Structure 1
Amino acid sequence: MIYIIGAGAIGQALAVLLQNTGKEVVLVKSRQVQETQRDFQAIHVHVSGQLSQAAVKVASLATISFESGLILVTAKSFANSTIAAKLRGANQPVILLQNGLNIEQPFIDQHIRQLYRCVLLVTAQFNADGTVRFKPVSACPVGLVQGEQGMLDELVGQLDNPWFRFRSEQNIQPLIWKKVIANCVFNSICPLLDIDNGIFYKNEFALRMARNVIHECLAVAERQGVALSAQEVEDSLLSISRMSDGQFISTLQDIRNHRPTEIATLNAEIVSLAGDLPVPYTKLLGELTALKSQLNLL
């Protein structure tokens, strides 16, 4: 059994693609499932020019009892304290498919024995008709946070499929930081410009803004013991920008739909870790995005 906690675009896409490879899947919604809702939800995913669909079993986080199997967390990271409390002391492996720094801490605090992080190199968004548009960028690396390293390849084998690819990674922290730095760019500049991810490979001025954020974040990463080059981070950012051209970053989707965002685990977390290091671009862009999010919640 594979439980997916979080029924957003990523969670729904993954649920369909796994179920259509023969896996038994339960999509666990963070919010209460209404009594009028059926036990199964029909989900349609557009991927690689094809329509993939499945009737996926759904449940509520508040009432579900997790049996043996694998638990994936695709919900927004601000829900992690609630999710971790529900999973307290779980024996099942838990894989976090989320953005941000230090998002694993609530699960460590709740004594999750087998904890992993996945760096998402895909994009997904809901279409106006409720279907999901999914675009892969590259195979998503999965690495150990705490527990038994020997299970990693087996878990990745359960998840990997022709549309949503996964791979094992022995040293996940540099890749987490590389993606976080890219997300500090995408999740602040794109919402503020109200534009899709393709802006950075199309517009030199936007790319110069991105380079300022990358430079600041790299200094913070180095202080945390993570060595990355500006070129490899920029190359990753441009690759994501090209491959997800036309897709809207999750923070912009959330703002448009009057939902809370994850900016606190991105730019704001970088600022918190920076200490006396100057990070004015990262700070200002993050604060403006947080303000825009707050105003759209009113």
Structure 2
Amino acid sequence: MIYIIGAGAIGQALAVMLHYAGKEVMLIRRTPARSLPITVQLPAENLEANILVGTLADIGHGPVLITAKSFANAAIAVKLRDVKAPVVLLQNGLGIEAPFSNQSLYRCVLLVTSQFDGEGVVRFKPVSACPVGTIRGNQLDELVKTLDNPWFRFEAVSDIHPLVWKKAIVNCVFNSVCPLLETDNGIFHRNAQALAIARRMIDECAAVAAAQGFSLTVQEIEDSLLHISRLSDGQFISTLQDIREGRPTEIDTLNAEIVRLAGKLPVSETRLLGELTAIKSKLNLTT
């Protein structure tokens, strides 16, 4: 059995795709239910399935995939303290693996976009195969073989850390600019002014990455940003979805974490846009 903690747009889409790939899968959520009917809208087809639902108490020996928001990781790690199965983090952000100390642990860099399009309907767009790398453990190849499927592709990489940084920088841009402009991911390949802001943020964040020992060129980060922007045109970034639904966001593990790591390095635009996004998130919270 594959367990997915987090029944958001990514978790639901992945559950259906693993089901279609012939895997036994269970969605883990706080609200108990026997099954959840889900339709995944892909560019070329729709996938429909009733997915088994359980709670944290139902987790057994299969791999545990975490697609919940990263701010929940501390609480999730406590619940998983005695679980011996490998844990895979399918989340954005820097430092999100810190609460997990007892398990075989792996990180996946998500290169897909997914959003709800009505009750039980998820609109999913793949961008590229999602790299998975080892934080702690020796089951990487087996895990990737288990997870990979024709709709949501995974690939093993020898060093996940530079890719985590590159995606975190890209997400700092998407998850602050798009919510503040109330627009979709395609804004950066459509609008020169938005791209100019993105370039200034990338310059700041790349310098912080270099200070942390990760040499990423500004051009490769911009290329990644534009690639995602083009392939997810019309899709809304998760932070904007969360703000609209009155939910907490992950901005603290993105812009705020970059600012924390920057020390005396100048990150004024990354800081300002992150802080404005955090304020907007708090103003829209419903709980």
The bucket for the TM-score relative to the shorter chain is over 0.9
> Which residue of 2 is the match for residue 266 of structure 1?
254
1:296 is aligned to 2:274: no
Q: Deviations over 1:228-277 (max 9, x none)?
A: 00000000000000000000000000000000000000000000000011
| SS of residue in 2 equivalent to 1:170 | coil
- Structure 1 segments, 4+ long, off by >4 Å, are none
> Which residue of 1 is the match for residue 116 of structure 2?
126
> Which residue of 2 is the match for residue 222 of structure 1?
210
1:140 is aligned to 2:139: no
TM-score by length of 1: 0.94
Q: Deviations over 1:50-88 (max 9, x none)?
A: 110111100123xx2321111100000011011100110
Percent identity, aligned pairs only, is 64
Q: Indicate if the aligned counterparts of 2:201 and 2:269 stay in contact, CA closer than 8 A.
A: yes
In the alignment, the residues of structure 2 paired with residue 48 and residue 159 of structure 1 have an alpha-carbon distance, to the nearest angstrom, of 21
**1:129 positional shift:** 4.2
In the alignment, the residues of structure 2 paired with residue 24 and residue 147 of structure 1 have an alpha-carbon distance, to the nearest angstrom, of 23
CA separation of 1:65 and 1:130: change in aligned 2, threshold 3 A: closer
In the alignment, the residues of structure 2 paired with residue 190 and residue 145 of structure 1 have an alpha-carbon distance, to the nearest angstrom, of 31
In the alignment, the residues of structure 2 paired with residue 187 and residue 158 of structure 1 have an alpha-carbon distance, to the nearest angstrom, of 30
Uncovered stretches (5+) of structure 1, i.e. residues with no partner = none
Instruction: Output the amino acid matched with 1:180.
Output: A
**1:91 positional shift:** 1.5
**1:32 positional shift:** 3.1
| SS of residue in 1 equivalent to 2:73 | helix
1:97 is aligned to 2:90: yes
**1:120 positional shift:** 0.1
**Which stretch of structure 1 is more off in the superposition, 177-186 or 83-92?**
83-92
| SS of residue in 1 equivalent to 2:261 | helix
Instruction: Output the amino acid matched with 1:143.
Output: G
> Which residue of 1 is the match for residue 62 of structure 2?
69
In the alignment, the residues of structure 2 paired with residue 59 and residue 90 of structure 1 have an alpha-carbon distance, to the nearest angstrom, of 16
| SS of residue in 1 equivalent to 2:106 | strand
- Equivalent of 1:196 in 166, 184, 187: 184
**Which stretch of structure 1 is more off in the superposition, 269-278 or 123-132?**
123-132
Instruction: Output the amino acid matched with 2:10.
Output: I
Cα RMSD (Å) of the superposition? 0.9
Instruction: Output the amino acid matched with 1:42.
Output: P
In the alignment, the residues of structure 2 paired with residue 286 and residue 41 of structure 1 have an alpha-carbon distance, to the nearest angstrom, of 35
Pairing 1:134-283 to 2, within 5 Å after superposition: 134-148=124-138, 151-283=139-271
Uncovered stretches (5+) of structure 2, i.e. residues with no partner = none
> Which residue of 2 is the match for residue 4 of structure 1?
4
> Which residue of 2 is the match for residue 55 of structure 1?
50
In the alignment, the residues of structure 2 paired with residue 32 and residue 83 of structure 1 have an alpha-carbon distance, to the nearest angstrom, of 15
Q: Deviations over 1:177-203 (max 9, x none)?
A: 000000000000000000000000011
In the alignment, the residues of structure 1 paired with residue 169 and residue 12 of structure 2 have an alpha-carbon distance, to the nearest angstrom, of 26
**1:130 positional shift:** 3.5
Q: Indicate if the aligned counterparts of 2:37 and 2:120 stay in contact, CA closer than 8 A.
A: no
> Which residue of 2 is the match for residue 79 of structure 1?
72
| SS of residue in 2 equivalent to 1:240 | helix
In the alignment, the residues of structure 1 paired with residue 211 and residue 119 of structure 2 have an alpha-carbon distance, to the nearest angstrom, of 46
In the alignment, the residues of structure 2 paired with residue 32 and residue 15 of structure 1 have an alpha-carbon distance, to the nearest angstrom, of 17
> Which residue of 1 is the match for residue 31 of structure 2?
32
**1:90 positional shift:** 2.5
In the alignment, the residues of structure 1 paired with residue 120 and residue 59 of structure 2 have an alpha-carbon distance, to the nearest angstrom, of 28
In the alignment, the residues of structure 2 paired with residue 249 and residue 121 of structure 1 have an alpha-carbon distance, to the nearest angstrom, of 12
> Which residue of 2 is the match for residue 45 of structure 1?
40
Instruction: Output the amino acid matched with 2:53.
Output: V
TM-score by length of 2: 0.98
